[in-house]
Amino acid sequence: MSEARARVAGTESGARFRRYLGRPETPALAFLVLLVVAFSVLSDKFLSVPNLESILTSVAVLGVIALAVNQVVLCGEIDISTGSMLGLCAVAGGAAAQSTGGFLLPLVAAVAVGALCGAINGTLVTLGRIPSIIVTLGMLYALRGVILLVTGGAWITGVPNESRVLGMGSLFGLSAPVIVLFGLFVVMEVVGRHSTWGRNVYAVGGNRRAARLAGLPTNRVRFFAFVLVGVFVGIASMIYMGRAGSVQTNTGTGLELQVVAAVVIGGTSISGGRGSSLAALTGAILIGVILNGLVLVGVPGIWQQAVLGALILLAVTTDVVRRRLVGDGV
């Protein structure tokens, strides 16, 4: 729509510029650049390779989960069970690491548990026809209960180093969490642009009725989005366990809101159909940059939560204003 309007307005380059302006993640990216500049000026420690890498490493868990939840939100659904799910996956992976060690088995255990949780979410939403906010709210409670039941409240400690590769390893000077984050980002960008399922996600989220009438398997598309969240949470839990070296029963508490925050701050519309994997990644990095920058600038840690909240409101408000000025974009 904006493209047509722009073409009337003038030149080809103008049209391209307006198209970029209309992309969902543009405000977040611009804001990210602005923040990086601001923090670089305010603190001379900010713009250094070790600090930037530590920011990316610290947002890897958040970012990986946000990439998957992004697909659920694109479908027009939501998943707020990821915090408890991360805890349960980490417990499963941690228990496997404790008993057998190795790298692959704990990862498989964590991913399998995650996929199972995701499948339960997906089944209840599609076949049970229960709204996803309620399903995942219930699962947030229930899974936390399961964690406490299976661990009896005890921590899992003494995870062997070979099981912590995803958290501690590095390749070509890049830390493993960063590699996993960007690897999965590339995968999701390709899936979102070139796979049938990835395109169906947009169609289902844009207009579910139209998608169903066009013959798309709307239930299957949404089901697999929830399963994807489980799988990615499983991977993220191994990053978490690898970095922490132990698993507490309160692992992941409150993470679900940060994940949704990353997705919407990045520019994916909460009502579905509009957004991108780049948006989710940008949102997660933005949160990491802000939390890191505030510490360096000397803002006490207790303000983090308030800043996060203000940021969500600012991001969604910007999105509304931009849409009213520029139109809906691509």
Partner 1 sequence: MSSAVEVMRRLRFSRELVLLGVLIALVIVMSLLSPLFFTLGNLLNTSRYFVEVGLMALGMTLIIITGGIDLSVGSNLALVSVAVGFTFAAGLPLPVAILFGLMVGMAAGFFNSIFITFLELHPLVVTLGTFALFQGLAYGLTGARAVSDFPDWFAYFGQAYLLGAVPGQLIIFLVAVVVVWLILSRTSFGRYVYAIGNNEEAARFSGVPIRRVKVAIYTGTGLLVAIASVIYTSRVYTARGDVGLGLELDVISAVVLGGASIYGGSGTIGGTVLGIVIIAILRNGLLLAGVPSTWQLFILGVLLLVAVFLNEFFRKGEE
Residue from 8, 149, 171, 325 touching partner 1 (CB under 8 A): that is 149
Residue from 138, 169, 206, 245 touching partner 1 (CB under 8 A): that is 138
In the complex with partner 1, which residue's Cβ is closer, 2 or 151? 151
Beta bridge partners of 175: 170
The reply on whether position 78 binds partner 1 by CB under 8 A is yes
Q: Which of residues 192-231 bind partner 1 (CB under 8 A)?
A: none
In the complex with partner 1, which residue's Cβ is closer, 134 or 187? 134
Binding mask 280-309 for partner 1 (x = CB under 8 A): --------------------x-xxxxxxxx
Alpha carbon 138 to its chain centroid, in Å, reads 20
Tokens of 29: 């990216």
Residue from 16, 37, 141, 186 touching partner 1 (CB under 8 A): that is 141
How many Å apart are CA 265 and CA 63, to the nearest integer? 12
The reply on whether position 91 binds partner 1 by CB under 8 A is no
| Interacting span for partner 1 (CB under 8 A) from 155-163, 190-198, 216-224, 314-322 | 314-322
In the complex with partner 1, which residue's Cβ is closer, 129 or 194? 129
Residue from 105, 112, 142, 294 touching partner 1 (CB under 8 A): that is 142
How many Å apart are CA 81 and CA 259, to the nearest integer? 10
How many Å apart are CA 12 and CA 23, to the nearest integer? 17
In the complex with partner 1, which residue's Cβ is closer, 29 or 261? 261
Give me the least distance between CB of 226 and partner 1, in Å please.
Answer: 14
Q: What is the 3-state secondary structure (H, E, C) of the chain?
A: CHHHHHHHHCCHHHHHHHHHHHCCCHHHHHHHHHHHHHHHHHCCCCCCHHHHHHHHHHCHHHHHHHHHHHHHHHCCCCCCCHHHHHHHHHHHHHHHHHHHCCCHHHHHHHHHHHHHHHHHHHHHHHCCCCCHHHHHHHHHHHHHHHHHHHHCCCCECCCCHHHHHHHHCEECCEEHHHHHHHHHHHHHHHHHHHCHHHHHHHHHHHCHHHHHHCCCCHHHHHHHHHHHHHHHHHHHHHHHHHHHCCECCCCCCCHHHHHHHHHHHHCCCCCCCCCCHHHHHHHHHHHHHHHHHHHHHCCCHHHHHHHHHHHHHHHHHHHHHHHHHHCCCC
Q: Which of residues 98-127 bind partner 1 (CB under 8 A)?
A: 124
The reply on whether position 8 binds partner 1 by CB under 8 A is no
Question: How many chain residues touch partner 1 (CB under 8 A)?
Answer: 44
The reply on whether position 154 binds partner 1 by CB under 8 A is no
The reply on whether position 271 binds partner 1 by CB under 8 A is yes
The reply on whether position 143 binds partner 1 by CB under 8 A is yes
Give me the least distance between CB of 242 and partner 1, in Å please.
Answer: 27
In the complex with partner 1, which residue's Cβ is closer, 238 or 255? 255
Residue from 30, 34, 154, 310 touching partner 1 (CB under 8 A): that is 310
Give me the least distance between CB of 263 and partner 1, in Å please.
Answer: 10
Give contact residues for partner 1 (rule: CB under 8 A): 78, 124, 128-131, 133-135, 137-146, 148-149, 153, 257, 260-261, 264, 270-271, 300, 302-313, 316-317, 320
